[in-house]
Chains A and B, each alone.
Chain A
């Protein structure tokens, strides 16, 4: 046993635990102020996204190839789109669209943006969101959306 190794081990486990607990707390939580402050341009069009926007709101998911929570997130969002009328889901490969990844300051996948009917970014979550959080955030963007299902 060597003292440097013991110090390194304890430091790594402590830092990683702190990081993991912090991530667990913020993961998938929607944030309104971050949605409006991070993006340089807070607006997305159907042309940029390559797909039409939803009538009431649009969920935009940034995904990447080596990302297990992206697939789980996709399933959650698919359920939301099935349950709530007028919502479109657009999945973007962050690698393919580095322009949008940069424009919206996406640092990790999955990142989910919620756009209102005009394509304005209103909400944002990094990490896998829970169903109730997505519906709750949608409710803030589209009055009445949460009661549709």
Chain B
């Protein structure tokens, strides 16, 4: 019995604590899409855009650094939306959506840099990229950052000599 139990424990590759309801990040992506769209519409000279961008950056940072439990949009989902829905048909590992939050954080910070330095092109480009990623996530359940990850890996190691067999 004990060996069986320990075997089961070792064969389970991911602890349940890392498993999340996949609808949570998608709901969060919908909120992010709206917030980023408003930031674009208000533009780089608007204090409202600066406020919204600050909130969005903090949300990204919480999700990326502390984990999705700390992501405020995820909290909204768990508190107000999930009780009205049934239980999720399946759970999902939190690593991919958490990585997506980190990608969003990078774009958010780039947008903030554009805003602070008066580089409007940087502001628009960074917010537009983040918006595209969030929208694809919300509308198509597609994770742009996750796909970029492999491409960056391929480029990054491209400088090493190829070990051809």
Contacts and interface: CB of A to CB of B under 8 A. Distances in A.
A95 B140 contact: no
Interface in A87-108: 94-95, 98-99, 101-102, 106-108
B128 A12 contact: yes
A9 B40 contact: yes
B149 A64 contact: yes
B154 A102 contact: yes
B142 A20 contact: yes
Contact of A99 (B41, B131, B149, B163): B163
Interface string A54-67: 00000000001111
Contacts of B131: 9, 12-13, 16
Contact of B22 (A4, A19, A68, A99): A68
Nearest to B132: A16
B21 interface: no
Interface of B: 22, 37, 40-43, 45-46, 92-93, 95-97, 99-100, 120, 124, 127-128, 131-132, 135-136, 139-140, 142-143, 145-147, 149-151, 153-154, 157, 162-163, 165
29 contacts: A2-B45, A2-B46, A4-B43, A4-B124, A5-B40, A5-B41, A9-B40, A9-B41, A9-B131, A12-B128, A16-B131, A16-B135, A16-B139, A19-B136, A20-B140, A48-B165, A65-B95, A65-B96, A65-B149, A66-B99, A66-B100, A67-B96, A68-B22, A98-B153, A98-B154, A99-B162, A102-B162, A107-B150, A108-B147
Given A20-B136, A23-B140, A64-B146, 6 more contacts: A9-B41, A13-B135, A16-B132, A66-B96, A66-B99, A94-B153
